[in-house]
Amino acid sequence: MRPLTADDIRSSFVNATPEQLDRLPLPGLHETIWHEREFLGWRDPQAARLGYIVHWAGDRPVGVVVRAASGSLRHGIAAMCSFCRSSQPATQVRMFSAPRAGEAGLNGNTIGTYICEDLACPMLIRITPSQPLQPDLVELRSQRLLERVHGFTADVLKTA
């Protein structure tokens, strides 16, 4: 992923209200290892259910505001993130919804999917419990993760 500036991030959101943009918390960009990310994802420390996903689509960054469901999946079962396809304890995967862009989103039209609760999919595709992944497998996982994130964003941008 190419680096993002605070201005890139603030201007990238396709489904944020002006009020959300005014209070948008930014993650520590100086701490970000950009070459190990397909997207930048973070949760809002002041609004526990809000999260943000920003990725590059061609030459421009595209950002999506997501909201975590109030309830979580049942304890003791496994769940899979629809982005990174990591199987994890259900408490680490949550249903997130995103308002569609434009008038559709303002009218309450949303799209939802299960995503890692901490939005750390780029990290998860690079690790396994017992050994580091081979570079070609990481590249394949990276491409597939980015395809799924682009697909989700494309769905958010649909107005009907």
Mean pLDDT of the chain: 91
Say how far residue 109 (Cα) sits from the centre of its chain.
19
Please state the rounded mean pLDDT for residues 42-65: 96
Rounded CA separation 72/147 (Å): 26
Instruction: Indicate the SS3 state at residue 135.
Output: helix
Contacts of 89 (CB under 8 A, 6+ apart): 75, 77, 78, 79
Please state the rounded mean pLDDT for residues 121-136: 76
Rounded CA separation 52/98 (Å): 10
Q: How many CB atoms lie within 10 A of CB 97?
A: 14
What is the predicted pLDDT for the residue at 136? 82
pLDDT grade for 8, boundaries at 50, 70 and 90: very high
Cβ atoms of residues 62 and 55 within 8 Å: yes
Q: Where are the alpha helices (DSSP H) in 35-106?
A: 102-106
What is the predicted pLDDT for the residue at 16? 94
pLDDT digits (tens, 9 = 90+) for 73-128: 778 888 999 999 988 888 899 999 999 998 888 888 999 999 999 999 999 988 86
